[in-house]
Amino acid sequence: MPLVDPSSLYLQHLDAINRIAKSLCRRNGLVGDDAEDFASEVRLRLLEDDYAVIRKHRGDSSIITFLTVVISNLFRDHRIKMWGKWRPSAEARRLGEAAVLLETAMNRDGLSFDEACNWLEQNARVQTDRKTLREIAKKLPRRTPRRIEGEEALEEVAASAHSNGHLLDSEREAQLAAVQGAMARSIASLDNEDQLIIRLRFYEGFSIADVARGLGLPQKPLYSRISRLLQTLSAALAKEGLSAESLDFFETS
């Protein structure tokens, strides 16, 4: 039985991917831009290396179950990258599971006391009233929330550019290699969603209509957005001494 094309599988289940990522963020108190950053990271990771992760699905479980496990693991790794391996205080462990969860929500995740209580009430495995939680909070040691001082560089986007010419000599090959390296660095400097747009449109060959539908974006503004992105990439290449003609392998039609 032939395997489903991974790019089609990805696009077909993109809504489910977004829902799983959103649900994980909601259950773990990750909100706003942080939640969107994680969702974008998930989409990029699933695209990497020609859909290497999706290719691992062999039908032993449903695709939704498979994606849920994969995205849960990505969330764990994302949290470790952001915060390091969180260890609750000895006092929180002594006070029990409610104290550990409360301390984690407030000191690791940066939630206010009320936000942490709301999260515990909706998602946690323990049932503790807010008055008791307030008493627990008074007993927990003061810990400075860890902050992210800078984002780690995104892994280079694979640059399998479609060349118009025949690479018949070493000089031409060296030139293309330089363009590919510069292009990968330039794309990696874009916002996560912009990276995804470029990857889907030009590297995966999706139509603009498919990109808009898959990412839940209005189609008409996407044309001008892609044009601006190409201008940004052209300027980045110019800074590295490469001409705008290096973008010729991107079909803008």
Are 155 and 77 in contact, with CB atoms under 8 Å apart? no
Other Cβ atoms closer than 10 A to 129: 9
Predicted pLDDT of residue 136: 92
Q: How distant, in Å, are the alpha carbons of 41, 77, 81, 83, 208 from that of 86?
A: 21, 12, 11, 7, 42
For 27-62, give one letter per residue: b (16+ CB within 10 A) or e.
ebbbeeebbbbbbbbbbbbbbeeebebbeebeeeee
CATH topology of domain 170-249: Arc Repressor Mutant, subunit A (1.10.10)
Residue where the block lists tokens 């139509």: 207
Q: Which residues of the chain have pLDDT under 50?
A: 1-2, 145-168, 249, 251-253
Q: Sketch the domain layout of the chain as residue ranges.
A: 6-83, 90-139, 170-249
pLDDT in tens, 14-38: 889 998 998 888 877 777 888 888 8
Residue among 48, 100, 101, 45 at smallest CA distance from 73: 45
> What is the reported pLDDT for 199?
77
Cβ atoms of residues 155 and 44 within 8 Å: no
Structure tokens at 61: 């479980």
d(CA 253, CA 247): 13
pLDDT at 147: 41
In this predicted structure, what is the pLDDT of residue 204? 63
Report how far apart, in Å, the C-alpha atoms of 153 and of each of 101, 111, 184 are: 31, 27, 12
Contacts of 144 (CB under 8 A, 6+ apart): none
As to burial, measured by CB atoms within 10 angstroms (0-12 exposed, 13-18 middle, 19+ buried), residue 10 is buried
| Residue 159: predicted pLDDT | 38
